[in-house]
């Protein structure tokens, strides 16, 4: 055997090995693409979904694992199964399922969900009471601001809450001031953050606090939601800039929402505002002041406050587009399939 023969033999051997390797890759891909595997994985996803429904703590992995495996299964099928090359609509449908999956994943990584209460006539300044966010959330909530100009809510007999109309104002991206009425089905959307009115709303006694150094700040106590917590309209509060904790209670002396008639949410006119500092109890009227250790508290009057649900998810329009593509392509696929042959042929 000459040197050249030897080299050729080795070359041949290598090519053979490579093709075996390629074939094993393909057969692995074929196996991953199996439709029977799809069935197992759909069943696994159903089990994961039930787990997620049952336990709030089990909403990540029981969904992520079957969905991830389904994506692998589906992509392998798309790569190897000739059905998808012959039937474009079927291919588009399954691709839109992959797109949906990727979008939901992206949404979960970047979303934000929270709550904020804003007193009438004041600004939302980017601060949330409760927040939950994806690890990669990078929106600019701190630069989002709007004014709550007050709301109206009607009640039908039996305290059945009707429509909510909340007047809000803000500056848009170009700096122009905007005004709108939101509520029920209509959120306020600023920089991708969506603000939804909720049934959490109530009364907010508003104060002016003048510290010992002479600077004055306004602040309000958002008492528990009304009428849900009608009988516990009290809260512990520390005025902004002060160290002293005060206890504020609103004692309403009139029927605000009549259970028998149609009524509208409104501020009480007959009420007592009780403020307790340590063991001292004071009843305050609008304009009254109260001296504390480190400054003076002046009661400015009652206002309302609205609790907003805040939601950020940039994938929303894309999800909708992917859903539209999925339904249309599925419809086309079945249409073509069924039009080709009558059922009783």
Partner 1 sequence: MEQELQLLWAAIVTYVLAGITAVIGVVLGKRPERSVLTLMFAGLALQAASIGLRWERLGHGPFITMFEILNSNVWSLMVAYTVAYWRIPRIRASAAIVMPLMFIMLGWLMVTHPGEGHYPPTYNTPWLYIHIGLGKVFLGAVLVAVGLSCVIILRHFGFGIRRLGQLPPSPQLDELAFRCMAIGLIFHTLMLIAGAIWAQDAWGRYWDWDPLETWAFITWLTVAFTIHARLAFRISPPVHAAMILTVFVTAFLTFFGVPFVSMTPHQGAV
3-state class of 303 per DSSP?
strand
Contact between 133 and partner 1 (CB under 8 A)?
no
Q: Per residue, what are the HEC states of 51-100? A: HHHHCHHHCCHHHHHHHHHHHHHHHHHHHHCCHHHHCHHHHHHHHHHHHH
CB of 94 to ligand HEM, least distance (A): 6
73 binding partner (options ligand HEM, partner 1, none; Cβ < 5 to 8 Å by kind):
ligand HEM
Number of H helices, E strands in the chain: 6, 16
Cβ atoms of 112 and 133 closer than 8 Å: yes
Which of 29, 45, 101, 102 lies at the binding interface for partner 1 (CB under 8 A)?
45
Cβ atoms of 250 and 273 closer than 8 Å: yes
What would the x/- binding string for partner 1 be over residues 102 to 121, using CB under 8 A? -----------x--------
Residue 192 CA to its chain's centroid (Å): 11
CB nearer to ligand HEM: give 75 or 235.
75
Residue 193's contacts (CB-CB under 8 Å, 6 or more residues apart) are: 112, 139, 141, 144, 310, 311, 312
List of residues contacting ligand HEM (CB under 6 A):
35, 38, 70, 73-74, 77, 81, 83, 90, 94, 97, 330, 333, 337
Contact between 69 and partner 1 (CB under 8 A)?
no
Q: How big is the chain, counted in residues?
A: 345
Which of 99, 105, 319, 325 lies at the binding interface for partner 1 (CB under 8 A)?
319
CB nearer to ligand HEM: give 71 or 277.
71
CB nearer to ligand HEM: give 181 or 323.
323
Residues that bind partner 1 (CB under 8 A): 34-36, 38-39, 42-43, 45-46, 49-50, 52-53, 56, 59, 113, 158, 160-164, 184-187, 194, 196, 199, 309-311, 316, 319-320, 323, 326-327, 330-331, 334, 338, 343-344
């Amino acid at each position: 055997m000459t040197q050249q023969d030897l080299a050729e033999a080795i070359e041949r051997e290598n090519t053979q090995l490579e093709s075996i390797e390629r074939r094993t890759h393909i057969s692995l891909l074929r196996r991953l693409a199996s439709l029977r595997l799809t069935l197992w994985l759909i069943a696994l996803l159903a089990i994961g979904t039930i787990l997620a429904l049952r336990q709030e703590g089990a909403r990540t992995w029981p969904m992520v694992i079957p969905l991830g495996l389904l994506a692998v299964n589906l992509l392998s099928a798309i790569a190897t199964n000739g059905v998808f090359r012959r039937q474009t609509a079927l291919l588009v449908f399954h691709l839109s399922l992959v797109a949906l999956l990727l979008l939901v994943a992206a949404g979960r990584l970047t979303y934000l969900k929270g709550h904020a209460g804003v007193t009438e006539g004041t600004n939302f300044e980017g601060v949330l009471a409760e927040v939950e966010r994806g690890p990669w959330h990078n929106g600019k909530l701190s630069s989002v601001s709007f004014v709550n100009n007050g709301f109206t809510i009607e009640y039908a007999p039996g305290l059945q809450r009707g429509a909510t109309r909340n007047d809000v104002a803000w500056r848009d991206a170009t700096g122009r001031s905007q005004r709108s009425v939101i509520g029920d089905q209509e959120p306020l959307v600023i920089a991708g953050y969506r603000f939804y009115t909720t049934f959490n709303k109530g009364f907010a006694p508003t104060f002016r606090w003048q510290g010992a150094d002479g600077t004055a700040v306004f602040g309000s106590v958002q008492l528990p939601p009304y009428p849900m917590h009608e009988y516990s309209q009290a809260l512990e509060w520390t005025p902004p800039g002060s160290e002293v904790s005060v206890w504020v209670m609103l004692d309403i002396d009139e029927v605000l929402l009549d259970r028998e008639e149609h009524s509208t949410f409104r501020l009480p006119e007959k009420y007592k505002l009780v403020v307790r500092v340590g063991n001292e109890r004071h009843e305050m009227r609008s304009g009254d002041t109260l001296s504390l250790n480190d400054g003076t508290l002046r009661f400015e009057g009652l206002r309302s406050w609205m609790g907003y649900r805040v939601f950020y998810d940039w994938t929303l329009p894309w999800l909708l587009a992917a859903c539209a593509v999925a339904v249309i392509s599925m419809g086309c696929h079945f249409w073509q399939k069924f039009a080709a042959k009558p059922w009783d042929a």
